[in-house]
Amino acid sequence: MELNSGVAILTGAGGGIGSAITRRLAAEGMSLVLADRDFGLLERTVESLPDDTPFELVVGDVSLPAHHEQLVAIATGMGELKLSVLNAGIYLPGVSWEIPLEQWELQMQVNFYGVLHGIRSAVPAMIEQGFGHVIATASGAGLVATPALAPYVASKHAVVGLMESLHHELNRVAPAVHSSVICPGNIRTPMAANSRAAAGVDSEQLFGEVLVVAQAVRAGNDAGADADTVAEALVLAVAENRFWVLPQPEVAWGALDRVQRIMDGREPIDLIG
């Protein structure tokens, strides 16, 4: 599908990956409905857009169905809804049995239900008009698990499974509507700080192995690829109508190793080391 016209919805548009996708879709010539929980982040995102880019900014909570219904209503009022990119996500480190339940719930609400509600709002509109593409940002953590990030890993595995099921469903009942899942590896973004802000946490009280893992994750992110890598992979996947979007080959290698270990009956690998 060509992206030189029509409207795209993008959640998490104020984050590092969201900002990169916003710029790339604007360069393609799309009108944009940009959503985030923080208006200041949205303002920074649109500062780099061409002056003639049509856009609407919406502040809201992706865990609420009404927020996604609002986004679709705005998008369809602007033109043809070609693309819905469900990108909002957060992570809060800790071991499974110590992470506060409210942080578990928050990560599932944002990372998983933020995708589910987006699908439930956008897909019927796309089926009615006869075309469209829904993309969810998962993670390499949706294919291979890491320690001290269990809520994030669980929610991203759920997103991958949801999108696979959606892919099969659309092929059966609406083959002109397509879906993709993006599984980035390490990407340089301010996600850690944005996640703490979303949770209302000024600082994390991390100690011992949890601190070691959190530091390793953040060091990997700091040394990761530019967020434009994800944006470029997204546009190419839409053009090719490709479901799996893995911007970095190491994610595929990790997934392949996991499958081989399952077949061999070997223990899972700890990617943190």
- Report whether 90 contacts 61 (CB < 8 A): no
The pair of three-digit structure tokens given for residue 103, joined into one six-digit string = 């942080």
The pair of three-digit structure tokens given for residue 12, joined into one six-digit string = 């998490």
Per annotation, catalytic residue among 37, 152, 179, 217: 152
Per 3-state DSSP, what percentage of the chain is helix, strand, and coil (rounded to 5)?
55, 15, 35
- The strand pairing partners of 8, in sequence order, are 32, 83
Give the torsion sign (CA, 45, 132, 111, 39).
Answer: positive
Verify whether residue 91 is a known catalytic residue. no
**How far from 29 is each of 8, 62, 69, 195, 230, CA to CA, in Å?**
10, 25, 24, 30, 18
The catalytic residue positions are: 152
